[in-house]
Amino acid sequence: MNEWETRIKQYDLLNKQSLEILIYLATPIVFPLENIHLDSLLTEVVARELFGHDIDRWQNQDKHVPIPLPLEKTKGKYPIWKASVAFCSPKAREHQDFWVKRTNDEFSGYSSQKIVWPAGVIGENVAKQLGYEVHLEKPTGPANNPARGGFKSYFEPRNLLTTEYLIFHANGNKPEIIRLLSKLKNIGKKTAIGFGKVKKVVVTEIEKDYSLFTPDQKPARVLPVEDFPKVKARMIASRVTAPYWSKRNMVICYAPASSLPKWQWDVYGQHKPTFEEIWFEENVDEDWFDE
């Protein structure tokens, strides 16, 4: 029996319970275009443990196999892991930053118009250039083009989110989830330059299971429409298991309202007051509108 089969049997035997998982961040996170699923984070760690020796195992979809996780799974035509997407804290703040890259233009060449070619260059006689514009490469070395291609310069905005922690919910084995998440160093994009750095992970057992639905019965992760026909929510085409970036085996799913929604309840499902609600309650006179 290989390590992959052994891991499947081990995870099947583990006790599982409802959990709230807080991943504290030391740096802002690049606001994602798609939801960040907890099972995709766990899948990444387990896949590296099992297939870390095979460099392109995770990038080459033809080599993909179902990755076992220490989570419960639903029944139905499209079984899904009982693990939510990332929710940010109610005090999160979104802001914008800019990515700037200017390539070395020492060898970038230049464009010229109305060139007259001397005899012997493109023919026996002196000739004017036929094209409107000619791109000339400097003879001092290899040329690059800062306007396009791999050496392109750019100035582009990126949305960042500053939040103390990300909130996930799951139905799984607490000790093994803690062990796996302890190997998680960053979350999101642009981690190579320091964004989404994980500070610590706190996992707590709770009474209710919010891995599939929030306290107000909205999707807490993508849910295949065929297995959850009574849900009313935003519909998208998505995979139901990692890798969610893949375009293979997509089905129609219900999805959370945004790519990084805010969690506005405590662990018992009670609504947490927003900043605006607290501010008005503490600072506004109830009779201000009568004056």
Give the pLDDT confidence score for residue 35 in this predicted structure.
92
* pTM listed for this prediction: 0.74
Q: For residue 165, with 0-12 CB atoms within 10 Å meaning exposed, 13-18 middle and 19 or more buried, which class applies?
A: buried
Give the pLDDT confidence score for residue 183 in this predicted structure.
93
Decide: 221 and 209 in contact? Cβ < 8 Å: no
Give the pLDDT confidence score for residue 55 in this predicted structure.
62
pLDDT averaged over 10-residue windows placed end to end, the chain, 291 residues: 85 94 92 91 90 67 82 94 93 77 60 67 68 58 62 74 92 96 90 87 94 94 94 92 88 93 72 52 47 41
* Radius of gyration in angstroms for the set of CA atoms belonging to the chain, rounded to a whole number: 27
Give the pLDDT confidence score for residue 92 in this predicted structure.
81
Q: Where are the domains of the chain?
A: 3-95+159-290, 103-152
Other Cβ atoms less than 10 A from the Cβ of 14: the count is 15
